Amino acid sequence: MNRPLMSTGWILLATVILVAALIPFDPQVSLRAQKLPAGVLAFNERITDFGKFGWMIYGSGILIILAYIAHTVSRNETISAKARTGRRVFLYFFLTIGSASALVHLLKFLIGRARPELLLELGAYSFTPFTGNTLFESFPSGHSAAVGSFCGAFSMLVPRLRLLFLVLALAIGISRVVVGAHYPSDVAAGLLLGLWTALMMAFVFARRNWLFRLDDRGWPRPKTLAEKNAGPQT
């Protein structure tokens, strides 16, 4: 395994460290979030469902993917070439978000952490695995994983807008704490797992020379950027 691919393990290590650092503060932060002004709560309730997996795949995902294709694909390319690029972009998003969803829901089932709405009854560190009950599926945050994988995929495809997408992902993640659906550690785990999934899927696509190329250091970069820097390639 090459060094860049091995280095992605640092994301998983960072996830573990960050989650461990946030866990002691979970109950205090959750209780304070529930006492925020009504206007703050209302705003976060409006934006929080943008992190649903289904919405990411079937709603905005399709529209923004089409905009990405229109912006990046050369006007001189044939219709078949544009269609091929479109299929691959959609496949990249679908596999990235789908993989994040499968991973997070498996972890939810295995870990079984009680949600913040049960904080006063069971505490912040109550775990009942294998129930299949959504009240015991707080860790990791599914919404955060969805938006993390979605924004992570766009960050890989459009590096110049990476900060914008990461801020968007963080905003949705924070909203999950504000509305009382998750603890901060749940959100951190979901966001970082989503980002990790987007990066790993970019490696898979780069190996097939789809959408990405591996640069001189072995990292996946959008083919348009790689071609500009490396010159014409077949």
pLDDT at 9: 77
The number of folded domains in the chain is 1
Secondary structure, 3-state, the chain: CCHHHHHCHHHHHHHHHHHHHHHHHHHHHHHHHCCCCHHHHHHHHHHHHHHCHHHHHHCHHHHHHHHHHHHHCCCCCCHHHHHHHHHHHHHHHHHHHHHHHHHHHHHHHHHCECCHHHHHHHCCCCECCCCCCHHHCCCCCHHHHHHHHHHHHHHHHCHHHHHHHHHHHHHHHHHHHHCCCCCHHHHHHHHHHHHHHHHHHHHHHHHCCCCEEECCCCCEEEHHHHHHHHCCCC
Note the pLDDT of residue 15.
Answer: 86
pLDDT digits (tens, 9 = 90+) for 174-212: 999 999 999 999 999 999 999 999 999 999 999 999 999
**154-170 per-position pLDDT tens digit:** 999 988 889 999 999 99
* Token code pair at residue 5: 């691919």
Whole-prediction pTM value?
0.84
Domain interval for residue 116? 3-230
> What's the pLDDT score for residue 51?
59
Model pLDDT, residue 230: 47
Segments of the chain with pLDDT less than 70: 1-7, 51-78, 224-234
